[in-house]
Each structure stands twice: as C-alpha cells, then as structure tokens.
Structure 1
Amino acid sequence: MTGKRSAGLLLYRRAGTGTEVLLAHMGGPLWARRTAGAWTVPKGEYVPPEEPLAAARREFAEELGLPPPDGPYVPLGEVRQSGGKTVTVWAAEADLDPEAVVPGTFETEWPRGSGVIRSFPEIDRVAWYGPEDAKEVLITAQRAFVDRLLAHLKDEPSA
C-alpha cells in the first residue's frame, strides 16, 4: 500500500527586499498557538489517477477560496514528511492579497473524546515570508521547496 499523497502550489513574488513565498498557517485547535513548524505550502491530498498538478490547483482553490494563478508552473519535486505523506509542489510567480483569502473548513471532534463535532478553517491565515523566515516556520520537510525555488531563480536568465 502506498502512503498518502498531497500536492500544492508555492506562490512567490519578487519584492523590494528580495523573493517572498506565500505560506499558510494550519487551522484548527492543534495549531492555534504554534508558529514554528505550523506553516505549510497550500496543498491537499489527492488519489491517483488525479494528476498531481491538477490536484495542486484544485487544493489551492479549496484551501484559499481563490483561483490558482495561471502559471507557468515550476516543478519543485517532492518530499516525504515525518508522518510518511509524500508532498509534490510547483512554484508559480504571482501576487496575492492575504486578506482576500476565504479558507475552506473541516470538521473534527473537539475536544477529543467529547463527542462534540466542531468546524474549523483548514488554514487560519496566510502570509508572505522571506526565504529565511519561511524556513523557520515551515514544516521541516517542506523547507526543501524554498531552497529548490531559490536555486531555480538563481539559474533563471536575467530579463
């Protein structure tokens, strides 16, 4: 049996201070007071035969409540997170107002064991981060995507 798979889009923009990436803070009570390791690339699970890029675009729209950018998309490969999930990510250059995000929701029993089902946002906020700050707050395995994006941009021909 194969493990769970997720796909996502890492937006980046070129700001006056350099490149910034758009990250999402995971919603729900478990993440509410956490910062380090509580941010993620906007992503979600998919099951083949759905194509990973199609899933990444669909999940972007579901999680942020906004249409995904048109691309072009830069493949940043995949990582395996500590829980065993494989995450595949593409980068796209686009600007997005974090205030415009309308996150999707999920339901879970909270507090655990209470029998009470509550609804929480999948993500509770998004923000632009410079590369070093992004690597401090991202889930550990996803930090590789920031490094891969920076390597791609460094190798990009100047306009």
Structure 2
Amino acid sequence: MAVIKSAGILLYKRDNLLKVFLIHPGGPFFKNKDEGFWGIPKGQINLGENFLAAGIREMKEETGIEVSGKEFISLGTVKQKNGKIVHAWACEGDWSGLLICKSWVTLENPARSGNFVKFAEVNRAGFFTVEEARKKMNAAQWAFVERLENILSKKEI
C-alpha cells in the first residue's frame, strides 16, 4: 500500500501571545469530538503538484483563506498514527472569522444504510494560544507548533 502524503499550512499571529490557526473536521463522526481532533488545514497532493502549492490550495479550499504570496517557514514532516505523512509550512496572517469551506465529503450515514449525506470537510476554525492548541490538536501535528515556536524564538534573538 502506498504511503499517503499531504501538505498543509499552519497560519499564525502574534498579539502578545503566539496563536495558531486550527480547523475541526466536519461530519457525523467528529460532531462531539474536540480535544485531539483539531489540526492544520491540509490535504493530499494532486499529480504533478508541489507540496507547498498543495498546502496553499488546501488552505483556500478548506477555509477560504488566501495565503499565496506570503513568506513561508518550512516545518518539515510528521507521520500520523494512520501512517499518513504530513508536510507543513507556517506563515503569519489573520482570519476574518468567516469560514468558507469548499471541500465536501459524501458518506453513507449510518453505515450500510444506503443513506448518503454530504457535509463540509471543515465545520469549525479559529486561532488558539499555544496552550489551548496543545489540548485541541492531533498529537502528531503538535510537533509543527513546537517547531514554529523554536524557529520564531531564534528570530527574536
């Protein structure tokens, strides 16, 4: 089985404290799940697409936020529990508060019912302090926030 690779963007801002932008997956499975289920906007790479371009595209598709033209910081990769390899970049920016998700998923719900439901891939988003993000985030993706903190602290010296 081929390893699934995806790319994403960790948007951040600094107003006294570092805050990172996270999304929560939509759909019935994630409806009542919070801690450990938030992550960065990310998705699979299209054939012939480079990783950063895929991350920028996924950010726009999943949130409506346009980040092309920004300065990006490579945060490397992580391997999630499901085996997926995630490549990430960070960039500084803000968000209007309006979530515009253009990515939709169709699932059979309940399973084997013959009833198919279409829902947004992302149902919530927001900026969180590092402390809040630690509780909310997918455990593997937390490494991206730690790497960003380390890089930004070196830039401030």
TM-score (norm 1): 0.93
**Aligned counterparts, 1:31-46, within 5 A:** 31-46=30-45
What residue in structure 2 maps to residue 103 of structure 1? 101
Which runs of 5 or more residues in structure 2 are unaligned? none
CA shift for structure 1 position 65: 2.3
The amino acid that maps onto 1:54 is A
Task: Tell whether the 8 Å contact from 1:69 to 1:92 is kept in structure 2 after alignment.
Answer: no
**CA–CA distance in structure 2, aligned partners of residues 55 and 69 of structure 1:** 11
Secondary structure, in 3 states, of the residue corresponding to 2:23?
strand
> 1:20 Cα shift?
0.1
- 2:75 corresponds in structure 1 to 76
**Identity over aligned residues, as a percent?**
36
Which segments of 5 or more consecutive residues in structure 1 lack a partner in the other structure? Answer: none
| CA deviation profile, 1:3-48 (whole Å, cap 9, x unmatched) | 10110000000013x1000000111111110111110101111145
Q: What is the match of residue 122 of structure 1?
A: 121
CA–CA separation in structure 1 for the residues paired with 2:42 and 2:49: 14
RMSD: 1.3
CA contact (8 A) 2:65 2:95 kept: no
- Equivalent pairs, count: 156
Q: TM-score, normalised by structure 2?
A: 0.94
Moved over 6 A (4+): none
- More divergent stretch after superposition (41-50 vs 109-118): 41-50
Aligned position for 1:86: 85
